[in-house]
Amino acid sequence: MRMWMCSPKIMCKNHLLGEHNECHMFLGSLKKRINIDGYIKNDLLEPLSLKNRHDALADEMIKRGYNHNSNLIFDENIIFSYLPAKYINHRINKENSLNILINKCLLCNQNFKKENTMYSITKSFKFEAAHRLLTMEEGHHCRNIHGHSYVVRTTIQIVNITLMKNPNMVVDFGKLKKFKEITEALDHKLILNSNDPLIVILKDVPNVDIIKMPDGLDPTAENMAYLFAHNLKDLCTSEFGIEKATIKVDVDETVGNTASYTLFF
């Protein structure tokens, strides 16, 4: 069970009707005073939005010609009386939720694209770096230190170009030099998992510059794409004046081997 908390318009029939039913199931759990630690921990439930979310889903169901005869009878004073304030006020990370839905459901993905016709720009960056993958099984060749000629393609997509400071462009390509500073910081470095014992072994070796991945992540192309996408999002909001966009980052380790991450905010 989960509340997706994205626009009902983009949801396929199965996810629309499914979340509607799950709103009723969540209400049943709250009425029975069931422990909801797991729902909150896993970012599946936003208690204060349950009634409004149900109604938004029901409105979309009716617009599509589906039957709806199950109103949500909701008394906050009774239902929330046993919950700590931090649970009552929990807010779902809508960015992550939308990413999960779009990536798991082709129909929702297609609907999202139809609802969000976009302008986009793409700029590529290159750097040379070495890494090894600590989480690969013993004996795997990627556990050895090896290098790649990385190519990072960054794409920024927006819905309404007229809202930009210059309504003729998404963002000046020149401003993306800010992102180049991020890739240049990795050039000719050794990128390692922060738990890699090589960090201690090599830390005093001259001319070995080590970059540690955060949070115990392995330096895979997938994880790099994830981190680059969030770096680009930060630049969009702090430097480029973009408050809402879709970001896609592709990371080529070698020609033909590409990992991607798409982020909506």
Average pLDDT score, the chain? 93
Q: What is the pLDDT of residue 176?
A: 92
**Residue 253: active-site member:** yes
**Residue 255 CB coordination number (10 Å):** 8
> Model confidence over 194-219: pLDDT tens digits?
999 999 999 889 989 999 999 999 99
What's the Cα-to-Cα distance from 39 to each of 29, 80, 88, rounded to whole Å? 11, 15, 12
* Annotated active-site residue in 12, 24, 68, 142: 142
Q: What is the pLDDT of residue 172?
A: 94
pTM score: 0.63
**Residue 142: active-site member:** yes
Residue intervals in the chain for CATH 3.30.479.10: 119-264
Q: What is the pLDDT of residue 160?
A: 79
What is 119-264's CATH number, 3.30.2350.10, 3.30.479.10, 1.10.1740.110, 3.40.50.300?
3.30.479.10
Closest alpha carbon to 111 in 228, 205, 8: 8
* Annotated active-site residue in 19, 22, 46, 253: 253
Q: What is the pLDDT of residue 31?
A: 92
**Residue spans of the chain under pLDDT 50:** none
**Residue 141: active-site member:** no
Closest alpha carbon to 182 in 222, 132, 126: 126
The label of the residue with tokens 């009723």 reads 24
> Model confidence over 87-132: pLDDT tens digits?
999 999 998 999 899 989 999 988 987 777 678 999 999 999 999 9
* Annotated active-site residue in 76, 95, 184, 188: 188
> Do 235 and 179 meet the contact criterion of CB atoms below 8 Å apart?
yes
> Do 145 and 190 meet the contact criterion of CB atoms below 8 Å apart?
yes
> Around 101, how many Cα atoms within 13 Å sit in the side-chain half-sphere?
30
Question: What is the rounded CA–CA span in Å between residue 47 and residue 67?
Answer: 25
Q: What is the pLDDT of residue 114?
A: 79
